[in-house]
Amino acid sequence: GENVEQHPSTLSVQEGDSAVIKCTYSDSASNYFPWYKQELGKRPQLIIDIRSNVGEKKDQRIAVTLNKTAKHFSLHITETQPEDSAVYFCAARANFGNEKLTFGTGTRLTIIP
Amino acid sequence: GAVVSQHPSRVICKSGTSVKIECRSLDFQATTMFWYRQFPKQSLMLMATSNEGSKATYEQGVEKDKFLINHASLTLSTLTVTSAHPEDSSFYICSGDRGVSTEAFFGQGTRLTVV
């Protein structure tokens, strides 16, 4: 089955700086890679996703890059703000729908004012 | 986006009792519902996958007789934790899938505390 590794487990950055979180996956059949932000006691919130036919996707301060050859993808947050502090999870999934998401272990991001 | 409503959001029960958690897809038909468990400071771990009208598929190590899943309709899936014990205390969350989109739609989650 799929195995997703995520690093780092914790990350502290100064407000305004950039944060990068990296994930690797094992199943070459995976073709959908979402990133979630989760605040304490709440559901995961999709912040950006990328499909395997795209190498990079950007949405304002958030971007995701995908390297299918190396089987890794990364989340980039620029101009970080205190409200970006949360736990972030990457995930991977094969095919379209009806397939389970395999989550990474999570990164606790703290933005230092 | 699509909405999955999960209830209750919090429940406290005594050891040995059963607890039912409901997930409803409000504006779409969830052909598949995934049930996850999340312990404090850990990731979401898939417990089981349920498809409407058929038996759920459980992940390795998850007791199917303890965690009963019913997906009787395209808009409702339930998870019943039977004979709950303190070690079952966790955050349980469902995710509905329309089958035509890659995005997963999560319920609000249920914080279960067994005393």
B17-48 tens-digit pLDDT = 999 999 999 988 888 899 999 999 999 999 99
Q: pLDDT above 70 covers what percent of chain B? A: 97
A71-92 tens-digit pLDDT = 999 999 999 999 999 999 999 9
User: With contact defined as beta carbons under 8 Å apart, do A38 and A45 qualify?
Assistant: yes
Residue A19 Cα to chain centre, angstroms: 11
If DSSP codes are grouped into helix, strand and coil, which group holds residue B85? coil
The reply to whether B100 touches chain A by the CB within 8 Å rule is yes
- Mean pLDDT along residues A56-73: 96
CB-CB under 8 Å, B106 with A44: yes
- Mean pLDDT along residues A99-110: 94
CB-CB: which of A46, A97, A102 is closest to B100?
Answer: A97
Question: Across the beta sheet with A4-7, what order do the strands follow?
Answer: A4-7, A19-25, A72-77, A62-67, A56-59
- Mean pLDDT along residues B105-113: 96
CA distance B45 to B64: 15
DSSP string, chain A: ---EEEE-SEEEEETTS-EEEEEEE--TTEEEEEEEEE-TTS--EEEEEEETT-SEEEETTEEEEEETTTTEEEEEE-S--GGG-EEEEEEEEESSSSS--EE---EEEEEE-
- Mean pLDDT along residues A11-19: 98
Interface test with B, best of A32, A98, A99, A102 (most B CBs within 10 A): A98
CA distance B69 to B52: 11
A36-61 tens-digit pLDDT = 999 999 999 999 999 988 899 999 99
Q: Specify the pairing of strand B10-13 against strand B110-114.
A: parallel
- Tell me which residue has tokens 């070690």: B87
- Tell me which residue has tokens 């990328």: A50
Q: How many A-B residue pairs are in contact by the CB < 8 A criterion?
A: 58
CB-CB: which of A32, A34, A104 is closest to B43?
Answer: A104
Q: Of how many residues is chain A composed?
A: 113
Phi and psi at residue B88, to the nearest 5°: -85, -10
Give A32's contacts (C-beta < 8 A, 6+ positions apart).
Answer: A49, A50, A51, A52, A92, A93, A94, A96, B102
| Nearest in space to A37 (alpha carbons), one of A110, A113, A111, A106 | A106
| Nearest in space to A35 (alpha carbons), one of A58, A68, A3 | A58
CB-CB under 8 Å, B44 with A97: no
Please, what is the average pLDDT of chain B?
A: 92
